[in-house]
Structure 1
Amino acid sequence: ENTEGMYIAKEEEYTEDGAIARRIITRKAERRIIDYAFQYAKNNNKSKVTGVHKANVLKVTDGLFKEILYEVAKDYEGEIEVEDFYVDATAMYLITRPESFEVIVTTNLFGDILSDEGAGLVGGLGMIPSGNIGEDGALFEPVHGSAPDIAGQGIANPMAMLLSACMMLNYLEEYEAEESLNDAILAVLEEGETLTPDLGGNASTSKVAEAIINALN
């Protein structure tokens, strides 16, 4: 959920020795993202949604999140299974049994941390696309930042950007174009000969892009 939680930037120093941050959780926003998670599972042939929270400590805000999770789950009973875990347990399970997850829904801070952990399982941030999807529009971008440590070296992995384009094409219902681009990226990965250093190769950004273009053609 990308509009509230800990990332609303409501922080203040109340003395020179302390500060406070506010965490906002609303029924409207959580119902919206949780329902989206179940719809995503249904539309993509997934059988389970996992809600992630810390309701044992954050009893009011994450208690509300968990309550809404099971309210929404009733609308998909018999179609989509639901489960919930604490965020710290989820962090461990992503390492020890990642195959047990299909769709994870959570609040902003927890999702930010877990998504980067998940990236580490599949090649790093250079492989991970993202989408900010609202009711009236969407924005797609790689998860990673500007990578100043490798700026100007021509070795950034372009796959996260191209996979973000795949997500955008899916959102626009350009399914044939999405499949073609996704298959081209997969072909280059499976061949394993034209990869950037983050994936163990020595190819440049432009060489990887060129290989994907050739696979498209």
Structure 2
Amino acid sequence: MMNLSGLTKLLVKRNFLGTINKATLKISASVLGVNDRDEFRSPIKSPSNIQFARYGGRYTITALPGDGIGPEMLEYVQKIFSFANVPVDFEECQLDSKPTSPESDLDTAITSIKRNGIAIKGNIETKYNDPIYKSRNVELRRRLDLYANVIHCVSIPTIPTRHKGINIVMIRENTEGEYSGHEHETVPGVVESLKICTREKLERISRFAFEYALAHNRKRITAVHKANIQKLADGLFLKIVKEIAEKEYSSINFDSMIVDNASMQLVSRPQQFDIMLMPNLYGNIISNIACGLVGGPGLVSGMNIGDKYAVFETGTRNTGSGIAGQDVANPTAFIRAGVDMLNFLGLHDYADLISDALFDTIVTKRMHTKDIGGTAKTSDVVNSIMHSIETLYESERYNSKY
């Protein structure tokens, strides 16, 4: 581990202990892809409305390991944070899909997140064979009112993919629609599933998307819908987004696309999209497609944001149970979730430090796990990141940029 004085020298060298350069807090609006480590960063501004638990200058983070590879990924993030002397502590809460897990685990986790204001989590498997079992992922989002899911899908050099130059932000309404949880069997063999859409929540997610575009220099928002068939539900969504675009955010280009066409356009010419704004179900499906286009579930992080709390996780709901404990899982998505979380806390310099080290590992050293065509083990990637943290600042290339 790097000693504290050594790290302090590096931080001072890059003005880590000085004023934050606000220009580094923007996500590029270019769709030319990632050309250097600056564009690899996916920063998000620290909100003024969320109160984070902080004791003695250190933040307390709720940690939910989840199922599958989640526990080991969380351990690696903690190891990297400790190595880089990031001023955070983790309050771990057990929350998983095991049949023996009590329902009180969910209440405990929610209480912890409400106390700390922020969490990082592994995915929790949903048991779909039990009709009364509620997804704990969905329950967390619903009970904490984490209404905005944000996923940044960006091409990474050296990752073998069909398309290059992808730089899309997916914004998904996270609390209603088909995920409202209202289903019933009226008579045997006839099931009704309700899609709940409210003006209040549709206006909220629409304004969130446009404010995000303004804050991050994004130029265009595409609303994805099925209003040609679901004339009331998706019709309301499309009507509200159009109204807000025209009356409140005329400087942002706005268009719309039917979800089936959007799916085809995304896989054929993804570079045309900047921000895609979607209701709950479409957002889940479309964002998974986009994650696949840039290299798969092991690379992309996701943010669940509300007015009071935020939870950070991988961009796709993949537990990786089949490879748990084998030292082969790609840690990139979980590490990037940790980086997003640090940016949200306002710890932008630490976030950049870890993000740059991760970029060097993937791009400069070409250290790839099996899922992206390499042979590196999880531990190899993590050790390389920590080595880059220690040596990155000695490179002429890095110093020439600051």
Is TM > 0.5 for Structure 1 vs Structure 2?
Answer: yes
**Which category describes the TM-score, using the shorter chain as reference length?**
over 0.9
Q: What is the alpha-carbon distance in structure 2 between the residues aligned to residue 162 and residue 176 of structure 1?
A: 15
Query: What residue number does 1:83 align with?
Result: 255
Query: What residue number does 1:116 align with?
Result: 288
TM-score (norm 1): 0.96
**Unpaired segments ≥5 residues, structure 1:** none
Instruction: Find the partner of 1:204 among 363, 377, 380.
Output: 377
SS of the aligned residue for 1:104 comes to strand
Aligned residues of 1:188 and 1:212 also touching (Cα < 8 A): yes
Q: What is the alpha-carbon distance in structure 2 between the residues aligned to residue 57 and residue 127 of structure 1?
A: 35
Q: Which has the higher contact order (CA 8 A, sep 6+)?
A: 2
1:24-63 to structure 2, matched below 5 A, reads 24-63=196-235
Query: What residue number does 2:307 align with?
Result: 135
Say if 2:355 is the partner of 1:182: yes
- The answer to which of 177-186 and 29-38 deviates more is 177-186
Rg comparison, structure with higher value: 2
Q: What is the alpha-carbon distance in structure 1 between the residues aligned to residue 244 and residue 349 of structure 2?
A: 32
Say if 2:330 is the partner of 1:157: yes
Q: What is the alpha-carbon distance in structure 2 between the residues aligned to residue 175 and residue 29 of structure 1?
A: 30
Q: CA deviation at 1:58?
A: 0.5
Task: Specify the code of the residue in structure 2 equivalent to 1:172.
Answer: L
Query: What residue number does 2:7 align with?
Result: none
Aligned residues of 1:50 and 1:85 also touching (Cα < 8 A): yes
Aligned residues of 1:127 and 1:160 also touching (Cα < 8 A): yes
SS of the aligned residue for 2:363 comes to helix
Query: What residue number does 2:318 align with?
Result: 145
Task: Specify the code of the residue in structure 2 equivalent to 1:117.
Answer: I
Say if 2:245 is the partner of 1:73: yes
Query: What residue number does 2:84 align with?
Result: none
Query: What residue number does 1:96 align with?
Result: 268
Query: What residue number does 2:185 align with?
Result: 13
SS of the aligned residue for 1:84 comes to strand
Q: CA deviation at 1:193?
A: 3.2
Q: What is the alpha-carbon distance in structure 2 between the residues aligned to residue 43 and residue 206 of structure 1?
A: 36
**Unpaired segments ≥5 residues, structure 2:** 1-172, 391-402
Say if 2:309 is the partner of 1:125: no
Q: What is the alpha-carbon distance in structure 2 between the residues aligned to residue 119 and residue 136 of structure 1?
A: 27
Q: CA deviation at 1:104?
A: 0.9
Deviations 1:144-173, CA, capped at 9 Å, x for gaps:
432111122111111100111121122222
Deviations 1:43-70, CA, capped at 9 Å, x for gaps:
1111001111100000001000001111
Say if 2:345 is the partner of 1:172: yes
SS of the aligned residue for 2:298 comes to helix
- The answer to which of 29-38 and 190-199 deviates more is 190-199
Deviations 1:58-110, CA, capped at 9 Å, x for gaps:
00010000011111112111x21001001111111111111111111111100
Give the % identical residues.
38
Query: What residue number does 2:41 align with?
Result: none
Deviations 1:180-199, CA, capped at 9 Å, x for gaps:
22222222221253211001
Specify which structure has the higher proportion of helix. Answer: 1
RMSD (Å) for aligned C-alpha atoms: 1.2
Deviations 1:109-158, CA, capped at 9 Å, x for gaps:
00000011001111100111111100111000113432111122111111
Aligned length: 216
Aligned residues of 1:52 and 1:85 also touching (Cα < 8 A): yes
Task: Specify the code of the residue in structure 1 equivalent to 2:192.
Answer: I
